[in-house]
Amino acid sequence: MVIGNENNHIDETEKLLKLVRKKPLPVHVAIIMDGNGRWAKKRGLHRIAGHRQGVETLRDVIKVSDELGIKHLTIFAFSTENWKRPVSEVNALIDLLVEYLRREVMELHSKNVKIVILGCLDAFSHSVQQEIKRAVELTSNNTGLNINIALNYGGRAEIIRAVKNIAKDVYDKKLSPDDIDEKLFGNYLYTANIPDPDLLIRTSGEFRISNFLLYQIAYTELVFTHSDILWPDFNKKAYLEAIIEYQSRQRRYGGINA
């Protein structure tokens, strides 16, 4: 909880921003945006109100990421397991996604942001797929911040998809089993040509990965927020604090310090 007036909050955030810029930044930040429903419930609102407020948080995080020069921001927008939710909530989430793309894509494009989709879009309606593809195609040549949106995404499903495609290429004699190594396997994932996340943030106090980027986070630094910080509460200050926590860690990749 922030103590003091708004000016004090702004001053503190500016101090954090200066601290963040003194050390190497993560190239790739991944976020599990958790707690929208609980945020709404605490306020006596419908769950979709929490998701809508979560979109505003996402806008702020994208802005800060772009200002800092972070190259990749991957967000877990809709998982393969989210289809288990009530149909009304699933439809509302999809409608919110389409609304966001229509409202924001031109501004993102003007800021040189590139939109990339991780996941299988086949389960979405034709009109939703077209809206997503329009945003992807419009921004495809941009060279600034990459926003990787995980849609109908599951880490296990991604790995199985990669294994099937490799097996098919071996069967078709496009590959030899001896060709298969970590680099080749990575090229069959949705994240081909995207570096592994340096930092993974999960909000709302939950301490699990929830089937997100299972292969890619082998050496990712994990930061979990306190349970009081649900995704709609995850402001610029909280984001900077997560990056500072990342910067305080020593990344040895199985080795030892010199």
SS (H, E, C) 138-158: HHCCCCCCEEEEEEEECHHHH
The answer to whether residue 183 scores a pLDDT higher than 50 is: yes
Name the pLDDT band for 254 (thresholds 50, 70, 90).
Answer: confident
Written as six digits, the tokens of 215 are 């292969």
Closest residue by Cα to residue 116 from 191, 59, 55: 191
What tens digit of pLDDT does each residue of 212-232 get?
A: 999 999 999 999 999 999 999
**49, part of any domain:** yes
Q: In sequence order, which residues have a C-beta less than 8 Å from that of residue 238 and are 6 or more positions away?
A: 225, 229
Name the pLDDT band for 2 (thresholds 50, 70, 90).
Answer: very low
Whether 30 and 143 map to the same domain: the answer is: yes
Report the pLDDT value the prediction gives residue 255, as an integer from 0 to 100: 80
Question: What mean pLDDT is predicted for residues 5-10?
Answer: 56
Question: What mean pLDDT is predicted for residues 248-252?
Answer: 92
Question: What mean pLDDT is predicted for residues 30-53?
Answer: 97
The answer to whether residue 182 scores a pLDDT higher than 50 is: yes
Whether 124 and 142 map to the same domain: the answer is: yes
Whether 148 and 30 map to the same domain: the answer is: yes
Report the pLDDT value the prediction gives residue 11, as an integer from 0 to 100: 84
The answer to whether residue 28 scores a pLDDT higher than 90 is: yes
What tens digit of pLDDT does each residue of 83-103 get?
A: 999 999 999 999 999 999 999
The answer to whether residue 13 scores a pLDDT higher than 50 is: yes
Using a pLDDT cut of 70, give the percent of the chain over it. 96
The answer to whether residue 168 scores a pLDDT higher than 60 is: yes
Written as six digits, the tokens of 248 are 């305080």
Report the pLDDT value the prediction gives residue 111, as an integer from 0 to 100: 97
Lowest mean pLDDT of 8-12, 48-52, 219-223, 226-230, name the range: 8-12
**241, part of any domain:** no
Whether 149 and 42 map to the same domain: the answer is: yes
**1, part of any domain:** no
Name the pLDDT band for 72 (thresholds 50, 70, 90).
Answer: very high
- Cβ distance 40 to 50 under 8 Å? yes
Report the pLDDT value the prediction gives residue 7, as an integer from 0 to 100: 55
The answer to whether residue 123 scores a pLDDT higher than 90 is: yes
Name the pLDDT band for 253 (thresholds 50, 70, 90).
Answer: confident
Report the chain's mean pLDDT, rounded to a whole number: 95
**2, part of any domain:** no
CATH assignment at residue 33: 3.40.1180.10
**236, part of any domain:** no
Whether 79 and 90 map to the same domain: the answer is: yes
Report the pLDDT value the prediction gives residue 8, as an integer from 0 to 100: 59
Whether 134 and 190 map to the same domain: the answer is: no
Tell me the CA end-to-end span of the chain in Å, nearest whole number: 39
Whether 43 and 128 map to the same domain: the answer is: yes
Question: What mean pLDDT is predicted for residues 165-190?
Answer: 98
Structural domain range at position 163? 155-194
Whether 180 and 99 map to the same domain: the answer is: no
CA-based Rg of the chain, rounded to a whole angstrom? 19
Catalytic residues: 34, 82
Whether 29 and 83 map to the same domain: the answer is: yes
Report the pLDDT value the prediction gives residue 9, as an integer from 0 to 100: 63
**Domain final residue pick, 165, 194, 223:** 194
Whether 141 and 167 map to the same domain: the answer is: no
Name the pLDDT band for 258 (thresholds 50, 70, 90).
Answer: low
Q: What total number of domains does the chain contain?
A: 2
Distance CA 80, CA 217 (A): 19
